[in-house]
Copies of this chain bind each other. A is one copy, B any other.
Amino acid sequence: MASKLDSLLDRFAKQDRLALARLITRVENRSAEVSTVMERIYGRTGHAYIIGVTGAPGAGKSTLVNQLVVKYRAQNKLVAVLAIDPSSPFSGGAVLGDRVRMTDHYRDPGVYIRSLSTRGHHGGLSRAAREIVKLLDAFGHDIIIIETVGVGQTELSVMDLADTTVVVTVPEGGDGVQVMKAGLNEIADLFVVNKADRDGADRIKAELELSVHLRPAVGWRPLVLMTQASNDIGIDALVQAIGRHGDYQREHHDPARDGERRTREFIEVLTSELEERTERALKNGAGGSAERVLGEIREGSLNPYSATRRIIEDHAAIARLLDEGGPKAVRE
């Protein structure tokens, strides 16, 4: 008996873009079926190369991403863009009229563009982003570009997903860039000084090279590249540098680190599944002892920490909550 989900997954496997879009929407809405979907498509992931592009608003990230799409399409690669950026034209929040529009690419079936709103995710953003990337990967994309503004803990953690992280700065970034450099410095595989025709480009390049030089001399040393994305200057060199970083990682492949990465991913999936199931069960009106505890919480006669201990230490209560928030309960 083929369920609606089965037929959606079948169409996904045949590269139906509408099925992809629908599955991404389920991930965004945190449907109870998400884990089942991921379990079913997981075996087909691992093919795509994932590029993260991050930097302050106004650094020209969207223009740069647009140019990268053009280059990879010229190599006949299937490209997906996931924009997690309130200021991105992809996510509809553009405030500057002069930004390059991605709409041309919307007509190209070799490019899939999707934005992920940062609103209403309550910390589940990085899980949603990870799962959408898995869907884009399993669908058959060769290149996945994640664009995000490099501010905020959640937004930074999304960059964990990238094989190569590109941090984009501009000469006149001023204190905003200064502030962010602290955190972004640590995650950059490549630095790009965009709008490199402007005053101060050489200075910021020298600063970034110094910061790279001050790192411990082990592993990959980030390169600092100059681009003028809107004039297609330096983009080919950026594509080459991304390729070099990819080669470096393959050559210096470390099975122990792979194991650690897989363990981290598992812990994230397990803990957020616990969180989502519990939240779902409590919101849908869980029965039994959890219901009584909720009543006392509402009237203020029990504090949340005592309530939590009471539920977790009662193994039957926590098991019931986890079952009720699971996919089976919803399937009926």
Contacts and interface: CB of A to CB of B under 8 A. Distances in A.
Given A95-B175, A179-B93, A300 B123 contact: no
A253 interface: no
Contacts of A294: 263, 266
Interface in A256-275: 258-259, 262-263, 265-275
A320 B307 CA distance: 19
Given A125-B153, A153-B118, A304 B266 contact: yes
A326 interface: yes
A119 interface: yes
A175 B263 contact: no
Interface residues of A, number: 73
Contacts of A42: 303-306
B266 A308 contact: yes
A57 interface: yes
Contacts of A312: 270, 273-274, 277, 322, 326
The binding surface of chain A is classed by DSSP as: helix
B93 A123 contact: no
Given A86-B182, A121-B153, A122-B157, A308 B96 contact: no
Contact of A306 (B39, B149, B183): B39
A102 to B, nearest CB: 18
Contacts of A152: 151-155
Contact of A259 (B122, B178, B298): B298
B304 A279 contact: no
Interface in A102-134: 118-119, 121-123, 125-126
Contacts of A309: 35, 39
A270 B314 CA distance: 13
The 6 closest A-B pairs by CB, nearest first: A152-B152, A259-B298, A271-B275, A39-B305, A42-B303, A266-B304
Given A122-B153, A312-B322, A319-B319, 20 more contacts: A35-B305, A86-B179, A96-B175, A118-B183, A121-B153, A122-B157, A149-B151, A152-B152, A152-B153, A152-B154, A154-B154, A262-B297, A262-B298, A266-B294, A266-B297, A272-B275, A274-B312, A275-B275, A313-B326, A315-B315
11 contacts: A56-B176, A57-B179, A86-B179, A86-B183, A87-B175, A119-B153, A152-B153, A259-B299, A270-B307, A273-B308, A319-B319
